[in-house]
A and B are shown apart, each in its own frame.
Chain A
């Protein structure tokens, strides 16, 4: 076990845990944003640089600060480590710069992008970015590539987080994705110039943090915040798929089927293409009830749940504040630390 201090909060985690996962154990607004790290995908992380944090003390044994900010998703904790995230102005400034870099070649087509409302970059830019751009140059463009009947590829929106590359490599039997080109001419592409026909290829839609890879069958049908997510399951014949999904309803119609995700947008269990694309009748599923929606998400509009407040934080609050919070839940848990 290692005990670290993260934004002034002490937390104890098993050895080998990354700084990001230690912060996630605390929860709430202190958790660094992560757009390329994905817990189920081995080797992911370290690329988008969104989760850079400052290590003010490396360990109890060697308390010298680390000379540069470190990517918290790939850096293991040391006992006695002191980490600053929202409490470091340097981290906040650098993160603002990372947002700017990620957006300079990114098309500002949120109004027509299917990922709007559940886009990690959209959330990241809203929380850490600025409202203007300094970029006046020509933006990067790509030739369109049709990668099959289920997945729509918009290469201009891609932030090269490599999540889909790892998904294709680790989840499917054959390599169907790779990063081609170099520098800012890099792009994900399929080595095989034909349909991605693996049974689990649809999972690249779930892992993509932006709208680069979206569900073709759901394309332009509905905005996600007008849908109602419902947890459901079915008896799937595919041995690797457990059939646990989220159904996105508009009225009585199933608009979309996705794997279930946790509060960080990470898939808990992968689902097969049959569950995702071929089972869109209510009769196909056993409904379990409304899916939990993170309060900070725009999808939560119209959904009411009691706030999930970190007990370590709430234990220090005065009684009157607790009563106020219960009656007026905050929109962002991070506000508690403001």
Chain B
């Protein structure tokens, strides 16, 4: 087992309470920051750590913090994006429900670094039970003097609020999240201006993922340089992976970045291999929006090197032979999986969740779903396979927010790597639509 910076104490009885959390070293990072460091020093520490945003895009967190505009006399905000709603990703709710004080501690340290006096945790609307846990923990933090006026006598004050969303996936996009926080319809904004300049209530705002903010705590406790020693290359530290699908031991794993994908899937220490003695067919390595890869490309790069659980290794080869680390939602599929059905299922999700504001996404996601539905149900043509690739290409890069890419990439990747399976659905529609039918390679029918 590698080091666990976030989940080291997650199984301790009562760790979700202030008392037990404090006893296990909790809130030392806040004490260190507020008593011995200036806000800029905290930002520098995060920069040194090389922490990259854990929500999906992987932008360096310290750099993002340094972009925050700091006009005199204007309030600033730190907003925690806890709207975790992508298929295959379920790490944040686990972290928040088990270790609410870790997130709160990270919010205090982060807000201090940014000069925010009011901060928000925007939580997905369906996770009401987590909201209750967070609110209870926040009340404990207020009672203990870690929130509110003049924290620890440092002169710094912070109010922290938990705000529930209403269940729209689009509100995981930072500007749509801010619109929703302001009480408006959750439509993404056009950028510029970026939230760092004009975010919540037209004031400078930073939006970070739950795991990113929680990671600030071990960075301050250990020091940015020590944190940067973990991992491989520019992928530093540890990351939570949500392993699900056809695995013997699905679950949430905190890994030091750099573990080989093959070891993660097959080692008894982690997922324990593919369930029921079956073969691995494909993996979606970073949540449903990243390109799917077949077995031979998820275990090794096209150049033949072991694929590692890092930002760089997973994206080796670009989208032609690679994928993305994304949010860390790791979905493994065995030999009984129909890739066409899976692709249709994902496209149905994105069609449903499109906010409808811009035309490529509004019209294109519906189009993709309908054509894939035709293909999966035995009514497709060979032309339809090229059509979905073309439509995906027309959506990608032309939309206001990344939902367009999220809808386009899985479709393009599925056809790229599993075109023969799509063609099988066209050429053998009767066999392909039998219950439990699955394509198992050239000439081999279920």
Contact = CB atoms under 8 A, between A and B. Distances in A.
Contacts of B398: 49, 52, 68-69, 94, 97-98
Interface in B348-393: 351-360, 362-367, 370-371, 387, 390, 393
Interface in A145-161: 159-160
Nearest to A184: B366
Contacts of B362: 101, 160, 183-184, 186
Contacts of A68: 397-398
Contacts of A75: 192
Contact of B363 (A69, A71, A74, A104): A104
A102 interface: yes
A186 B365 CA distance: 14
A98 B394 CA distance: 8
A90 to B, nearest CB: 10
A72 B70 CA distance: 28
B190 A97 contact: no
Contact of A186 (B190, B356, B370): B356
Contacts of B248: none
A101 B354 contact: no
Contacts of B192: 75-76
Given A97-B394, A98-B398, A137-B371, A49 B366 contact: no
A47 B354 CA distance: 13
Nearest to B187: A179
A181 B371 CA distance: 23
B7 to A, nearest CB: 36
Interface in B334-348: none
A70 to B, nearest CB: 9
B401 to A, nearest CB: 11
B366 A183 contact: yes
B360 A98 contact: yes
Contacts of A229: none
Contacts of B69: none
A185 interface: yes
B357 A101 contact: no
B99 to A, nearest CB: 34
A114 interface: no
Of B356, B357, B359, B399, most buried by chain A (CB within 10 Å of CB) is B359
Given A71-B190, A75-B192, A101-B394, A160 B356 contact: yes
B152 to A, nearest CB: 42
Contacts of B10: none
A139 B431 CA distance: 30
B22 interface: no
A134 B185 CA distance: 33
A75 to B, nearest CB: 7
Contacts of B358: 46-49
A135 B394 CA distance: 14
B387 A134 contact: yes
A105 interface: yes
Interface string A46-59: 11110010000000
A92 to B, nearest CB: 13
Interface residues of A, number: 33
A137 B351 CA distance: 15
Contacts of A181: 356
A100 interface: yes
Interface string B175-204: 000000000010000101000000000000
B411 to A, nearest CB: 15
B400 interface: yes
A49 B351 contact: no
A166 B190 CA distance: 16
A69 B397 contact: yes
Interface string A227-248: 0000000000000000000000
A94 B394 contact: yes
A202 interface: no
A54 B393 CA distance: 17
A182 B355 contact: yes
A159 B356 CA distance: 10
A47 B367 contact: no
A159 B399 CA distance: 15
B141 to A, nearest CB: 36
A49 B399 contact: yes
A211 interface: no
A47 B359 contact: yes
Q: Chain A CB within 10 Å — which of B185, B190, B355, B399 has the most?
A: B190
Contacts of A49: 358-360, 398-399
Nearest to A73: B190
A75 B192 CA distance: 7
Interface in B212-256: none
B355 A98 contact: no
A160 B358 CA distance: 8
Given A137-B367, A184-B366, A179 B185 contact: yes
A182 B359 CA distance: 12
A102 B387 CA distance: 17
A45 interface: yes
A293 B142 CA distance: 68
Given A98-B360, A137-B371, A183-B351, A45 B366 contact: no
A65 to B, nearest CB: 13
Interface string A23-66: 00000000000000000000001111100100000000000000
Contacts of B351: 183-184
Contacts of A102: 359, 363
A124 to B, nearest CB: 11
Nearest to A67: B397
A98 B366 contact: no
A46 B400 contact: yes
A186 B352 CA distance: 12
Nearest to B370: A137
Closest 9 CB pairs of A and B: A97-B394, A186-B356, A46-B190, A101-B363, A183-B354, A137-B370, A184-B366, A183-B356, A68-B397
25 contacts: A45-B190, A46-B358, A49-B358, A49-B359, A49-B360, A68-B398, A94-B394, A98-B359, A98-B394, A101-B360, A102-B359, A104-B363, A135-B367, A137-B367, A137-B370, A179-B185, A182-B168, A182-B354, A183-B356, A183-B362, A184-B362, A184-B363, A184-B365, A186-B356, A186-B362
Given A69-B398, A183-B353, A183-B354, 9 more contacts: A46-B400, A48-B359, A71-B190, A94-B394, A97-B398, A183-B351, A183-B356, A184-B365, A186-B362
Interface of B: 168, 185, 190, 192, 351-360, 362-367, 370-371, 387, 390, 393-394, 397-400
